[in-house]
Structure 1
Amino acid sequence: MERKNLWAPWRIGYIQGLGTGPNAADDNKIAPSEDSGCFICHNLKHPEDDDKNLVLWRTDNHLAILNRYPYNNGHLLIAPVRHIPDLSDVSDEELLEMTKLIRESQRALSLAIKPHGFNVGMNFGRCGGAGLPGHLHVHVVPRWDGDTNFMHVCSDTDVISQSLTELLGLLKQVSKEQNLPAL
């Protein structure tokens, strides 16, 4: 079988930007730090901007956020409130709640946009593919049969069929109707 590459060129601007700016030195550690541009920590500090920041849910220990650079329509990020880089730093309570939020995310997305399946995953460290290596998060990515189309193959362009703000509104509506997240 021929080995193929998975290209995600839309992420390069974000990744290249991590090593720039006044706090660039932090990128050589576990970047970005809580104080140097971690968008999850920023979102935590600004609940008044939840809609603008695409925050779906807040719990005592986690945020559920629509990915601003989605791999597919409905791509959610589940992140602990604490700025931690690795699963070994997660408490049992946080791990249980994170798992429940993955389940509730699948439920909300299934009701709202009816995907045929899901990818759920985590990337640790830059070499592991993490665009935000300092703040642990789980990707919940809805999938549909045949969701790789000619646009992606021919022009390195993904077609996302719904605006993020429209999808956020739909997911909030479904969440309210279904009392989600039901932890």
Structure 2
Amino acid sequence: MSAADESREEGGTIFQSGVGRADDLDRLWTPHRMAYIRGENKPADATSGECPFCRVPTLSDVEGLVVHRGETAYAVLNLYPYAPGHLMVCPYRHLADYTETTDAEAAEIAAMTKRAMSVIRGVSGAEGFNIGMNQGHIAGAGIAAHLHQHVVPRWPGDQNFMPIIGRTKTLPELLADTRALLASAWD
């Protein structure tokens, strides 16, 4: 073993000679995020056959993480949430722009967004929300081909050093558990 490959442990910190000094930072591994980084499940183009938001309604509520189904839209947990309870309200119809919604779709998206806020607030004590749609790739839409409105719950101090400096989000609950909690409180 060369000097560059030698390592020793002191007080739980591993030091590797030739590699660098310990930085005293803890590591949180989030391998599930790699699918998002690689763009898996992201449609290659604007066709509905490539779209995860068109595929989700064909799955069971549990498998698709669907919280509620309406007549023209549905609420689904975000696979890559910014915060616990982060969900999206999506029309069933494959369309990209909010101006393309029918009056019925726009009304149901708005009503579901209001209901999502009430449910999330009721089960988790969220004190605020970020609500929004990113229209087009240039505006930050990860999946620009299918309209979706984000409902992101917020709490005091939730934007601490982890996402800002550590570029890591911590989620205290499994998505399946969050889905069950929100779905049972919806009606």
Range into which the TM-score falls when normalised by the shorter chain = 0.7 to 0.9
2:87 equivalent in structure 1: 76
Gapped regions of structure 2 (runs ≥ 5): 1-31
1:85 equivalent in structure 2: 96
Return the offset for 1:12: 7.7
> Percentage identity across aligned positions?
37
Higher-Rg structure is 2
Gapped regions of structure 1 (runs ≥ 5): 1-9
- Check conservation: 1:15, 1:131, Cα contact below 8 A: no
- Measure, in 1, the Cα distance between the counterparts of 2:66 and 2:149: 14
Return the offset for 1:120: 0.3
User: Which structure's residues are more often helix, by fraction?
Assistant: 1
Letter in 2 for 1:14: Y
1:35 equivalent in structure 2: 49
Q: Kindly indicate whether structure 1 or structure 2 has the higher relative contact order, using CA contacts under 8 Å at least 6 residues apart.
A: 1
Aligned residue pairs, count = 156
Instruction: Compute the TM-score of the two structures, normalised by the length of structure 2.
Output: 0.76
Find 1:113's aligned residue among 113, 120, 124: 124
- Kindly tell me: are residues 138 and 70 of structure 1, through their superposed partners in 2, closer, same or farther at Cα, counting changes over 3 Å? same
- Check conservation: 1:86, 1:124, Cα contact below 8 A: yes
Question: What is the root-mean-square deviation of aligned Cα atoms in Å?
Answer: 2.1
Say whether residues 1:156 and 2:167 are aligned partners. Answer: yes
- Measure, in 2, the Cα distance between the counterparts of 1:15 and 1:78: 22
Counterpart of 1:70 in 2: which secondary structure?
Answer: coil
- Measure, in 2, the Cα distance between the counterparts of 1:35 and 1:164: 25
Instruction: Compute the TM-score of the two structures, normalised by the length of structure 1.
Output: 0.78
- Measure, in 1, the Cα distance between the counterparts of 2:69 and 2:35: 28
Letter in 2 for 1:45: T
